[in-house]
Amino acid sequence: MTRFYRLAAAHPDRLQYRYARDVRPDDLKEGSTILIGSAYSDPWVGIFDAHMNFVFQDDLQHRIVAIVNRSPQTGELIQYEYNQSDAAHKIYGVVALRPNLRGSGKVLILEGTSMAGTEAAADFVFDDTLLLPFLSKIRNPDGSIPYFEVLLQSSNMNGSASQLRVIAYRTSQD
């Protein structure tokens, strides 16, 4: 996540970093925001769940975190599970661009089934070879980018994400 700190260095007057505990509802009503982490680590993310297709569901007792696909399309699963004991080390991340609470700005959400899953979401956003083709694919005829969610799968290699791929995505105008 040091890449976000480099952004702040480039525009120190335009970026503010806050822990989730220091965010206030008004912060999500005005301007644009980046939320990092699932609702388990950043409860503000949960505010946007009602308008999202890919939502996190934690079963902490069994150490399973799942991403529920509310409207599966052909070839998609209803649920994508991350299990810490999985020999394949599959992890999942979600990148979502949503309107802020007043519709006057945007909220970028980067969340994952683990720290490595959240890192996979950030890798997607910062890797032009992944992000730019995706944005070209979803771009509106007028050139604007619609709101979107993208579900990513990767592998956890010693706490880092590798072999990132897009599993599914959704776009919307609101």
Question: Tokens 């388990």 sit at which residue?
Answer: 40
Question: Tokens 């956003």 sit at which residue?
Answer: 125
Confirm if 78 and 69 have CB atoms less than 8 A apart. yes
The predicted structure's pLDDT at residue 41:
80
Token pair in block for residue 154: 């990767």
Query: pLDDT exceeding 70 applies to what percent of the chain?
Result: 84
The predicted structure's pLDDT at residue 60:
73
173 has a pLDDT exceeding 90: no
The predicted structure's pLDDT at residue 21:
79
- Could you give the C-alpha distances from 131 to 106, 122, 168, in angstroms and in order? 17, 10, 14
pLDDT band, residue 112 (cuts 50/70/90):
very high
Average confidence (pLDDT) over 155-159: 67
The predicted structure's pLDDT at residue 64:
77
pTM of the predicted model as reported, rounded to 2 decimal places: 0.86
pLDDT tens string 34-77: 999 887 788 888 899 999 999 998 877 777 789 999 999 999 99
Confirm if 152 and 104 have CB atoms less than 8 A apart. no
Strand, coil or helix: 55: strand
Token pair in block for residue 49: 């769940």
Specify which residues 90 forms β-bridges with.
155
How many C-beta atoms lie closer than 10 Å to residue 32's C-beta? Answer: 13
Instruction: Say how far apart CA 42 and CA 19 lie, in whole Å.
Output: 9
Average confidence (pLDDT) over 16-44: 81
How many C-beta atoms lie closer than 10 Å to residue 49's C-beta? Answer: 15
